[in-house]
């Protein structure tokens, strides 16, 4: 069953994001590197409050970028010839969740996903849900729904599934784009 987080609690000692918000912000940053024309998604995998992997969606490394015509299915999708979530088996873009899982294999981190949490800016599709279950992910935190949703499968596998309210991210995103000296000012104010 999906658990929706709507309450936000700030630490009384210092204004900083809680763990779920912090790692979802990292997933939001990761999605900026997406090269897919259909949608941008970002994922991070976290173990013991440390980020162990990052992924965003797009064509495989060394293949022409999706926005440069690298994936015919995505082109058909934006032309309206294919619906969202359809013909994914013919898509050349790898999903963010899959890329994050593969990054663990690429850098010799295999096995580190066991017991980890996955943060993703969309609910995972069925394929990515299958992979997440198989590599031992035990908790998944998501922001938005995806048309070909694998959440029922995750539920069957007893993964804890949390949907985060997008409003949690906004105050921190606005801090990121402010003058860098602001963080020093905030720290000074706390001491006073």
Q: Which of 81, 86, 97, 148 is catalytic?
A: 97
100 vs 128 by CB, closer to Zn ion: 128
Closest CA to 21 of 9, 12, 13: 9
Q: Binding mask 22-61 vs Zn ion (x if CB under 5 A, - otherwise)?
A: --------------x-------------------------
95 binds Zn ion (CB under 5 A): yes
Which of 110, 128, 127 has its CA nearest to residue 119?
A: 128
What's the order of all strands across the beta sheet hosting 160-164? Answer: 2-5, 160-164, 139-144, 117-122, 42-47, 50-56
Q: Residue count at the site for Zn ion (CB under 5 A)?
A: 8
123 within 8 A of 146, measured Cβ to Cβ = yes
Name which position in 24, 27, 30, 66 contacts Zn ion (CB under 5 A).
66
Considering the rule CB under 5 A, would residue 74 count as an interface residue with Zn ion? yes
Q: According to CB under 5 A, which one of 93, 100, 132, 143 is a site residue for Zn ion?
A: 93
Q: Is 97 assigned a catalytic role? A: yes
> Using CB under 5 A, which of 116, 128, 137, 164 touches Zn ion?
128
| Sole binder of Zn ion in the list 25, 44, 46, 71 (CB under 5 A) | 71
Listed residue (98, 86, 85) closest to 58, CA to CA: 98
**Other beta carbons within 10 Å of 65:** 15
* Residues forming the active site: 97
């Amino acid at each position: 069953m999906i658990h929706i987080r709507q309450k936000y609690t700030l630490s009384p000692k210092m204004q900083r994001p809680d763990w779920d918000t912090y790692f979802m912000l990292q997933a939001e940053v990761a999605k900026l590197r997406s090269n897919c024309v259909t949608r941008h998604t970002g994922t991070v995998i976290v173990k013991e409050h440390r980020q162990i992997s990052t992924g965003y969606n797009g064509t495989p490394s060394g293949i022409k970028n999706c926005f440069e015509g690298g994936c015919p299915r995505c082109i058909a999708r934006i032309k309206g010839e294919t619906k969202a979530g359809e013909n994914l088996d013919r898509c050349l873009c790898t999903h963010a969740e899959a890329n994050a899982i593969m990054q663990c294999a690429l850098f010799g981190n295999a096995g580190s996903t066991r017991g980890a949490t996955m943060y993703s800016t969309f609910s995972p599709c069925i394929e990515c849900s299958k992979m997440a279950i198989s590599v031992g992910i035990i908790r998944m935190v998501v922001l938005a729904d995806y048309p070909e949703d694998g959440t029922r499968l995750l539920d069957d596998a007893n993964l804890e599934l949390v949907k985060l309210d997008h409003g949690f991210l906004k105050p921190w995103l606005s801090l990121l784009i402010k003058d860098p000296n602001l963080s020093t000012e905030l720290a000074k104010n706390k001491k006073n």
